[in-house]
Each structure stands twice: as structure tokens, then as C-alpha cells.
Copies of this chain bind each other. A is one copy, B any other.
Amino acid sequence: MNVEELMAYAKRRALFWPSAEIYGGVAGVYEYGHIGALLKKRFEEVWTAYFVESQDDYYMIDGSNILPEKPLVASGHAALFNDILINCSKCNTYYRADVLLNDMGIDVSDGATVDEIDKIVKEQAVKCPKCKGAMAHAKPFNMMFDLGIGPEKDEKGYLRPETAQSVYLNFSREFNALRKTLPMGLAIIGKAYRNEISPRQGLYRLRELIQAELQIFFDPDEWKPILGRLGSRKVNVLMYQQEQMESITIKEWMEKYKIPEFYAYHLALIDTFYTEVLQVPRDSFRFREKGGTEKAFYNKVHMDIEVNVTSWNGFKEVGGLHYRTDYDLTSHSKGSNKDLSVNINGKRIMPNVLELSFGVDRNVWMLIDQFYKKIEDRDVLQVPAYLAPFSAGLFALQKDEALQKMTESIYRKLRRHARIALDDSGSIGRRYARLDEIGTPFCITIDFESVDKSSPNHNTVTVRHRDSKKQERVKVDELEGFISDNTTFDINKFA
């Protein structure tokens, strides 16, 4: 599907659409319909189970979207969280400079400076795409949304630009409430806000976005997760300033590029998450190193997580793995005048941070891109069963009292542990088609044999499999176990 086709599907089947659409919307702000909300929730649940709940010292917390000014001065965001803006001196249209140039086929790195942009614009005689006017000088533009708080609106605040800051601000309280040991992992799934200069259609460049971020606080001298057999996983890696993607085992990569083992270990976890849990094909998945001006100055190692999405014709970032050193806690110690270093076994240290960062909206988009397929005459969202918005569809073959009574009774049992779609309109074929299109792995039909005491199929139902179209009879008594076993995410298979 291309972007327009994917958006059309998303609108038709209640996945997502522009916010306040009936009023023309706000560029870069979307909302989720009931199917999208379920798919997003499944992704978040599986992410949490895999990265957070599987570790006994890792926890979800929840921070505020509104932050005061001081911590964002200390973190560097107030001064440095900028994009470069350039406008047409004739029609005054604004552009994000790197996007404008990239769209014209001019290569610009992520972290290009104002001077570099101005130089390129001059050398290449870049004109406004709209009116052919001359471009004005480039200038930095801070991407945070600012707020005026209080009765005179004179207390300055910001909408947080990343969930990570909320975690750093809570480090001390959590460290003291938990075991006072490292490593300690704190994660947030929540909103972040960026006043993007030119948001685009779809969920890749948003002004209001959802992040799932895990910050692991650790002592770099002591933390030694063992790569072990994970080292033999072969991954696709594109290193900074290299033309070619390498297919290399994680152990070889770690040794070749002198990567710390704790970093390589988490790269392996992320690789497992994408290729096994989310089941993204190996060839569509890679890590890409950010270097030079592209990466934040405090990141010691920075790999983007990328999936090759057909809707955007190429690899797109869905997350990142960042070794942020002790930059965050050191900055906030200085900014707040509270010493955030900790005492462990008689040693005073400033914890380092390894950040696993994921864009939830981008991952939802990516899942649809990867798994929405035309199979023969069917449209099927072939996501793994534990990611499906509904675990099963359930319907009576016909409007008949006995069938409906059994359907209701099964519904009440199943809904305790699974999200079930009841559907009573149209032919069974049309119900299958509707449920295939939103990824429902199983369809359960109650027919006349199900309620016929003289039939050998009494108290059994037909279960139809989404991918194979195979049908089988399952005993009513075994249905709850069948659905649960086949649609629940089991962390023990992966950790």
C-alpha cells in the first residue's frame, strides 16, 4: 500500500485519522478510532511485557506532559532542541531546511548547522518550490510548545519533548522506593510534543506523538549482561559513513566496532523483539548508526532502529538505542542543585543511562504496512495473533433463538480474558472478510449442529483460521483454553 491507500484503509476501518477532521484538523495531530486504539494497546502491552515486566527491577511509571522551564533548560532542550527553519523571502512560506533540500535531491545530514544550510542554499541557488522566490537566511527554531501557566500566564512551562525527561526527574524517588541498587529500569508510555515545521501525512512526523521509552540506570563498571548465545544472531547494520549495509553476527559487530557488551546485549533484545515478537521479516529490519552531527552530542553510541516500509519506499526509523552516558543525571544535578549520584557498596557514582526509545504511532503504522496483505481475493491484516485488535470473532450462523443463546453464553465466558467481536450482519463470508481485514485470527461460528443434541457435533463450534482459512470443530468446553493459548502473548517464549 502507498501512503494514500494506507490512510484510506485506516479511516475506513477506524484505525486513525487527523484530529478534529470535521474542522479541517491540525497538521501532524492524529487520533485513533476503536480498532486503532486496540491495535495500539496490543503493541503497548506486548512492548511492556517484553522490555519491562520480564525484568524484575524494571517498572512502568507515568509522568506529566506539562513541565516547568528549569529542567528543560538543564537538559539542553530550551537552547538546543531546534530544527532549522527557512522561509521564502517573497511568499513567506516556511520550510524545515533539511526536508526542503532533501526533497530537492540535495543530501543534508540530520545535524547540519545554520551556516551549512545557508551555504548549500547559496551554492545550489535554491528557490522557493511554491513561487520561485529567493530563500531568506536559515534560522534555528525551537520545537517545544510553550505554555503560560497561572492567572497571569507568566509562569513558563513546556509540553515535554520526550518522555525520557519525566523519568530522569523521578530517578531519586524511585531509587529510594525500590531496592537502592542498579541496574534499575524505568519506562513510560506517553505523549510527547514537537512543533514540527512541516508535518507530513501519516504517523511518521507528528506534533503530538506517543513514545514508549525505557531508561536503564546503571554503573558502567559493574553492569555486565552476558551476550552469550544471542551473539550468534545475524543482524543488518548500516554504520555511520558507510555505503553498504552489513549482515553480521552481533558478536562480530561488537568486536569489530568496539561496542560495550551491555549495548550489544540490548541490541540483540531489540532484534529479537522486531524479528520474532513482531515478526518483521529479517530483510526489512536493520540498525543504522548515527554519527557526527546527526547524533546528540551526549550519546556515546546511537543506533536507529529501522524498518523498510513499502508505504514510504524505504527504511524508516521506528526507534533507537542510545547510550547517553551520565549526561542526564549530571545535567539535572547541576540544574536542580540536588546531587543525583548514588552510593552503592560504598562507592559514589553518577548512574549512566541506556535508553531504548520507540515511537508507538510509527510502529502502529509500520505493522499495518508490513502485515496488510492481498491474499487471493482477500484483504488480510496478518499480524501475529497477540497483536490483533480482536482475538476472535463470534457469531451465530443464523438469527435463531437457540443459536443466539449459545452465542451469548460463549461470549460471556470468552470476554473475561479476550476481546471478542460479535457480528450478526450479512453472510458468514462477509463477516469473515470484515474480520480478516482487521486481523482477527479466529472466527467462531455457532451452527445448528452445535445445539442439536442428536448430532455428533453437539456442543462444538466451528473455528476458522484467518491465515489458512482452515476450519475445525472445537468443543465448547475447550474454547476458552483454545483462544487463550493461541492469542495470549507469552513472554516466556522469548525471555
Contacts and interface: CB of A to CB of B under 8 A. Distances in A.
Interface string A146-166: 111111110101010000001
A319 interface: no
Contact of A65 (B191, B195, B425): B191
A372 B350 CA distance: 36
Contacts of A207: 66, 149
A234 interface: no
A466 to B, nearest CB: 20
Given A147-B145, A153-B195, A191-B191, A169 B66 contact: no
Contacts of A22: 169, 172, 332, 336, 338, 340
Interface in A130-189: 141, 145-153, 155, 157, 159, 166, 169-170, 172-174, 177-179, 186
A166 B141 CA distance: 30
Given A20-B68, A68-B23, A419-B53, A13 B177 contact: yes
Contacts of A141: 151
A15 to B, nearest CB: 9
A56 interface: yes
Interface size class of A (residues with CB under 8 A): 35 or more
A23 B177 contact: no
Contact of A169 (B19, B53, B157, B195): B19
B151 A31 contact: no
Contacts of A13: 177
A416 interface: yes
- How many copies of this chain? 2
Contacts of A56: 411, 422
Contact of A64 (B34, B60, B208): B208
Contacts of A153: 195
A371 interface: no
Interface in A1-51: 11-14, 17, 19-27, 29-38, 40-41
A472 interface: no
Nearest to A17: B173
B179 A64 contact: no
B336 A31 contact: no
A17 B152 CA distance: 25
Given A34-B60, A61-B37, A151-B141, A66 B492 contact: no
A391 to B, nearest CB: 12
A197 interface: yes
A412 interface: yes
A73 to B, nearest CB: 10
Contacts of A32: 61-63
A193 interface: yes
Contact of A415 (B65, B155, B491): B491
A96 B352 CA distance: 44
A335 interface: yes
A68 B26 contact: yes
A61 B87 contact: no
Nearest to A157: B26
A33 B177 contact: yes
B61 A20 contact: no
B70 A23 contact: yes
A170 B492 contact: no
A183 B96 CA distance: 46
A393 interface: no
Given A34-B61, A61-B32, A21 B66 contact: no
Contact of A14 (B53, B152, B177): B177
Interface string A65-80: 1111011000000000
A248 to B, nearest CB: 32
Given A66-B19, A419-B53, A94 B174 contact: no
A149 B26 contact: yes
Contact of A31 (B21, B62, B193): B62
B59 A34 contact: yes
A174 B61 contact: no
Contacts of A14: 173-174, 177-178
A252 interface: no
19 contacts: A11-B173, A19-B169, A20-B67, A20-B71, A22-B169, A22-B172, A22-B336, A23-B68, A26-B66, A29-B64, A34-B60, A35-B177, A64-B208, A66-B207, A87-B151, A94-B152, A145-B148, A153-B195, A415-B491
Which 9 A-B pairs rank lowest in CB-CB distance, beginning with the nearest?
A34-B59, A14-B177, A94-B151, A19-B64, A32-B62, A22-B336, A31-B63, A23-B70, A37-B62
